[in-house]
Amino acid sequence: MTSIQSLIAQMTLEEKAALCTGASAWTTTPVERLDVPELFVSDGPHGLRRVPEVHSMSNKSLPATCFPTASALAASWDVDLLYEMGQALAEEAIALGVDVILGPGANMKRSPLCGRNFEYFSEDPYLAGAMAVGLIEGIQSQGVGTSLKHFAANNQEYERCSINAEVDERALREIYLPAFEMAVTKAKPWTVMCSYNKVNGTYASENRRLLTDILKKEWGFEGFVVSDWGAVHNRVAGLQAGLDLEMPGPKQARVNAVIEAVRNGDLDEAVVDEAVRRILTIVCRAAQTPKGKAFDVAAHHALARKIAAESMVLLKNNGLLPLQAPQHIAVVGRAAREAHFQGGGSSHINPTQVDVPFNELQKLAGNAEISFAEGYPRDDSRDQALIDEAVTIALAADVALLYIALPTFKESEGYDRPDLDLTAQQVALIQAVTAVQPNTVVILNNGAPVVMGEWLDGAAAVLEAWMMGQAGGGAIADVLFGRVNPSGKLAETYPLRLMDTPAYLNFPGENGVVRYGEGLYIGYRYYDTRQVPVLFPFGYGLSYTSFAYGNMRVSADSFRDVDGLTVSVDVTNTGPVAGQEIVQVYVRDRESRLARPYKELKGFAKVSLQPGETKTVSVSLDSRAFAYYDPAYPQWITEDGQFDILVGASSADIRCCATVTLQSTLQLPSTLHDESTIRAWLNDPAGKPILEPIFNELMKKGGLFSSDDSDDNSMDMDLVGFLLDLPLRNFFHFQEGSLTQPPDDITNMLLEQVHGAR
């Protein structure tokens, strides 16, 4: 094949500019003269939305398997399973002639109110990154590309195309970027999609720092950056910032703008060439995967069922589950008949088939008599007759199964959630049914947390079934009857109240700006550090068996950051049935110069165990697991000191702990300057030996702060405490009377010493 460089050399400026803008809603511009084909992209992320008419954004798409959405997937904590799903997605892409799947989404769940959280993995960047890696690697292993989205700080739907996300540097680096960073550096997605919003004042589509400095240079991203659909404002500024492809097209005016900017010298043609090089590389790579081979519809449906079952989280169980051959089951809730298995918006899939939860239940229920009541209407209205009917059948049954789906008007792409509540009718329904039937199971279909305070106590069991994909109806039945032992654990905290959530005071922003005032403290980082009680903690989920943890080991009590650490623990299935446990490893920095969350997830493993079986689980922690981002340097840094390694069954259920000592191998330049405080100087490894003797000497002399009686202190304050917070220069000015040289000369001399010392 002709090399990319020689292709570029043969292209006219017009052809290059055209390649940087789509030809349709889903295709790039081909260069027929040079045999450069178009690239076909489709949503994403949990199934193919392959629209047959390329100039339509919203036509009914071709049938494809709808897998569970990202919030469900993350609750599986199963990277291999996501890889397997990725392979299946790629097979469907190949069948439908798609080169690149628009997903996964790696945005953080800053607030549970974000309408699109169902398409995102987690409130934790490590878990979200690991999930994204699994999915991307699975898809790309088959020669199909991905588009990691929405880069970056797109954490709400409110004003999503214009809102300015004001995020401080540490929060950006430690919370909002790491999932993208992990996915880019480990899984190498073919493309990255920039978000609609502004980040710290600049549209993501024109954000050179994000697209070029961080993504391409720092992380070594080799693919192309595509705009979210309609995210481009100034095409030339976008190209200069590192936005390679604008979608959707056609947009001749944009192409002309690029040509004109090159001709009049405003845009260096080399910038266009670089975008063209990146796009052509992917176009040529995609062309190597033959398209058209049909996929196995039944096998993918079965896989969707397996994934859905693995993702479900058993939130409460008083022992009613798994069901023990009930004779009469009352099924309540329209979601039992109309499966609520996906969310609204660009990820909406035309499924190949849909498991109806009621029918699937019936298949596994043996000879049980099953009655049905709708329970709640499709809209937000109240209907007491529906509740009365449900109560009647629940009373007559041994067990009531309530299928409660959060309606689309309360959760979708395009708008945020108004609250964390079910509809008033649903709450009243659950209350009424649980009041008459103690054996009630609530099965939830939603993409993000709901509050449960008004009804949780009455329910015997609660199963979070998520937006469970097209085969979820069968998966629910599998879990209810114990054909599958639930093993999902929450990838996001369930709060008690909306007002407890970290971003509550800063969501969704005003006057076009949303300030990420909670900084690093989102999700469990906030609840843990503030000790705010929650409904269900991050990492929580029940099983039909139980697990014991023991014999925790660390590879070294004291280790160098570059060597990392391996943590091992023995996990035993102490219950009656086979099951899977998700072992979570959190790291807590006991002392650090900059504030850190109480603990952070840095590793996990999922292990299958037969009853009585024990396995050793090992998790490796690299240097990054202990590091934080210090904007003063600016880079990730490790500090000498002690860290607690906490191994748990959830963020709130720590089973074993070890304390280790890290030796940092970082040689950091001193950041001391003349306004650094005395405290900063004395804490700095280079500053301390230089300043300390002088400081001690001056303290002995007393200077301006001397008193007649050294035991007496007329200002009634700790003078040393006061002095520690003085900038160096001010300190010497106060001490001028005790100095033999002018204070500024001494300050400058110390600065020379400290910076020359390195």
Interacting residues with ligand BGC (CB under 6 A): 43-44, 102, 149, 228-229, 346
The nearer residue to ligand BGC, 180 or 681, going by C-beta atoms, is 180
The nearer residue to ligand BGC, 56 or 318, going by C-beta atoms, is 56
HEC readout, 400-468: EEEEEECCHHHCECCECCCCCCCCHHHHHHHHHHHHHCCCEEEEEECCCCCCCCCCHHHCCEEEECCCC
**Cα 623 vs. chain centroid, distance in angstroms?**
21
Map residue 6 onto helix, strand or coil. helix
Q: Are 157 and 169 in contact (CB under 8 A)?
A: no
Residue 643's nearest CA partner among 553, 530, 558 is 558
Q: Running DSSP on this structure, what letter comes out for residue 361?
A: H
Helix pair 79-95, 125-140: axis angle to 10 deg:
40
Residues 105, 176: Cα–Cα separation, whole Å: 12
Residue 318's nearest CA partner among 500, 159, 542, 104 is 542
The nearer residue to ligand BGC, 229 or 372, going by C-beta atoms, is 229
**Shortest Å, Cβ 620 to ligand BGC:** 33
**Shortest Å, Cβ 585 to ligand BGC:** 32
Element of type H or E holding 170:
helix 169-171
The nearer residue to ligand BGC, 44 or 486, going by C-beta atoms, is 44
Map residue 232 onto helix, strand or coil. coil
**Shortest Å, Cβ 346 to ligand BGC:** 3
**Shortest Å, Cβ 230 to ligand BGC:** 7
Residue 580's nearest CA partner among 461, 656, 479, 440 is 479
Q: Which residue is nearest to ligand BGC (CB)?
A: 346
**Torsion sign, CA atoms 120, 123, 128, 129:** positive
Strand-pairing partners, residue 644, are 588, 659
**Shortest Å, Cβ 589 to ligand BGC:** 35
Q: Which of 228, 478, 561, 589 is catalytic?
A: 228
**Shortest Å, Cβ 229 to ligand BGC:** 4
The nearer residue to ligand BGC, 176 or 403, going by C-beta atoms, is 176
Residue 136's nearest CA partner among 45, 55, 222 is 45
Question: How far is CA 304 from each of CA 73, 82, 341, 406, 519, rounded to the nearest angstrom?
Answer: 11, 11, 11, 21, 37
398 is catalytic: no
3-state helix, strand, coil in the chain (%, to 5): 35, 20, 45
**Shortest Å, Cβ 156 to ligand BGC:** 12
The nearer residue to ligand BGC, 43 or 123, going by C-beta atoms, is 43
**Shortest Å, Cβ 144 to ligand BGC:** 15
Parallel, antiparallel, or unpaired for β 565-573 and 399-405?
unpaired
The nearer residue to ligand BGC, 66 or 750, going by C-beta atoms, is 66
Tokens of 167: 């995020």
The nearer residue to ligand BGC, 102 or 691, going by C-beta atoms, is 102
At 305, give phi and psi (nearest 5°). -70, -45
Q: Could you give the residue ranges of the DSSP H alpha helices within 196-354?
A: 208, 235-241, 252-263, 269-287, 297-311
The nearer residue to ligand BGC, 300 or 348, going by C-beta atoms, is 348
Q: Say how many residues make up the chain.
A: 758
HEC readout, 287-306: HCCCCCCCCCHHHHHHHHHH
User: Which residues carry out catalysis?
Assistant: 228
